[in-house]
């Protein structure tokens, strides 16, 4: 199993979201992390690391070390690394069941006298981050679960677009003919969600096609107007590059338009009328690990 794909990729994303959360927003990524840690593919591992540990006893004994200052208690971790891992797993699950307890825990063991967000971040840095690293190492080192952790790749592909409906429909229909499911973000029901929250609702999607079309005009101060892609499309392009990685994002560029310097190192696939972009997109999907029938691509 690749270190940057599958269940650990999702766990890492949840931990990254936690690192940027405050006391009013940590609950959602925390619950996401706990849900991922309890994925059925990890059941045997979790049973192995928790079979000889007693979380209530551990917490009670640790709380008794509290001195005269708030946050002065210390955690009495066992010497056995596997038991410590199991206790931390159960502790994080307890946080997920009762997010308020995470604050209480922080006041006992990691309170620094500052804001609530600082206490939460102390718990994340001291407990959750080391656990995510050690848990991954333990699972990978356990050869009996290696094959169980392979997760089939989803056939869903995000399609990000501007105002060029023709380009959007061409890409979506091509993907569907290749047996992929095109997820057009702006067609998804809002339910009060932002675009980023829509992305998170499709956590199993592992590839994105971004259409850069000359829908807007802009210029440097005092310079000439130049065609450019819509700003929301560029924002979503940057988001997907960070979330999925460059190898899982294909940018299709139609016509002449200004490209921000931060994206200058990317490879842009020209979307012209010759349909060469279809072959290029198919190759990108195949390189990302998807099954692609290249003979079928040529016939389309």
What's the pLDDT tens digit per position in 145-199?
Answer: 444 444 456 788 999 998 989 999 999 999 999 999 998 866 655 555 666 666 6
Q: Note whether 248 and 284 are within 8 A (CB).
A: no
**Helix, strand, coil fractions of the chain, as percent rounded to 5:** 55, 10, 35
The pTM (predicted TM-score) of the whole model is 0.51
pLDDT of residue 148: 43
Return the SS3 of 212: strand
Has residue 217 got a pLDDT over 90? Answer: no
* pLDDT at residue 111 greater than cutoff 80: no
β-bridge partners, 183: 158
The Cα 127–Cα 49 span in angstroms is 16
Rounded Cα–Cα distance for residues 73 and 77 (Å): 12
- Give the pLDDT confidence of 137-156 residue by residue, as tens digits: 898 887 544 444 444 567 88
Predicted pLDDT of residue 287: 87
C-alpha angle with apex 34: 29 to 35, nearest 5 degrees? Answer: 95
Count of all residues that appear for the chain in the document: 300
pLDDT at 174: 94
Whose CA is closest to 120, among 105, 98, 133?
105
Structure confidence by residue, pLDDT tens digits, 14-62: 888 888 887 788 999 999 999 999 988 899 899 999 998 999 999 999 8
Share of the chain above pLDDT 90, in %: 32
Is there a contact between 237 and 196 (Cβ–Cβ < 8 Å)?
no
Backbone φ and ψ for 67, nearest 5 degrees, come out as -95, -150
pLDDT for position 203: 63
- What's the pLDDT at 190? 58
Radius of gyration over every alpha carbon of the chain, rounded to an integer in angstroms: 24
Structure tokens at 294: 């290249």
Mean pLDDT of the chain: 83
**For residue 265, what pLDDT is reported?**
56
Q: What is the pLDDT of residues 57-99, one digit of tens each?
A: 999 998 888 766 655 678 899 999 999 999 999 999 999 999 9
pLDDT for the residue numbered 10: 87
> Quick one: what percent of the chain has pLDDT higher than 70?
82
């Amino acid at each position: 199993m690749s270190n940057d794909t599958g269940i650990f990729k999702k766990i890492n994303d949840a931990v990254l979201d936690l690192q940027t959360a405050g006391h009013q927003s940590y609950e959602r990524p925390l619950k996401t992390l706990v849900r991922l840690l309890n994925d059925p593919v990890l059941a045997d591992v979790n049973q192995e690391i928790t079979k000889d540990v007693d979380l209530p006893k551990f917490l009670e004994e640790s709380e008794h070390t509290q001195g005269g200052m708030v946050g002065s208690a210390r955690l009495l971790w066992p010497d056995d690394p596997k038991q410590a891992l199991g206790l931390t797993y159960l502790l994080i699950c307890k946080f997920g069941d009762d997010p308020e307890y995470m604050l209480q825990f922080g006041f006992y063991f990691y309170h620094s006298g500052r804001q609530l967000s600082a206490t939460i971040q102390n718990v994340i840095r001291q407990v959750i981050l080391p656990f995510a690293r050690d848990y991954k190492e333990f699972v990978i080192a356990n050869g009996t679960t290696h094959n169980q952790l392979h997760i089939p790749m989803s056939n869903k592909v995000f399609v990000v677009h501007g105002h060029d409906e023709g380009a959007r429909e061409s890409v979506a229909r091509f993907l569907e003919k290749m047996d992929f499911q095109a997820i057009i973000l702006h067609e998804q029901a809002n339910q009060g969600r932002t675009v980023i929250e829509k992305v998170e609702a499709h956590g199993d999607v592992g590839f994105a096609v971004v259409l850069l079309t000359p829908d807007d005009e802009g210029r440097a101060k005092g310079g000439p107007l130049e065609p450019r892609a819509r700003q929301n499309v560029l924002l979503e392009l940057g988001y997907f590059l960070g979330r999925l990685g460059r190898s899982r994002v294909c940018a299709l560029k139609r016509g002449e338009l200004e490209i921000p310097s931060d994206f200058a190192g990317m490879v842009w696939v020209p979307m012209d009328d010759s349909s060469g972009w279809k072959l290029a997109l198919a190759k990108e999907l195949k390189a990302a690990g998807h099954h692609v029938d290249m003979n079928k691509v040529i016939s389309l």
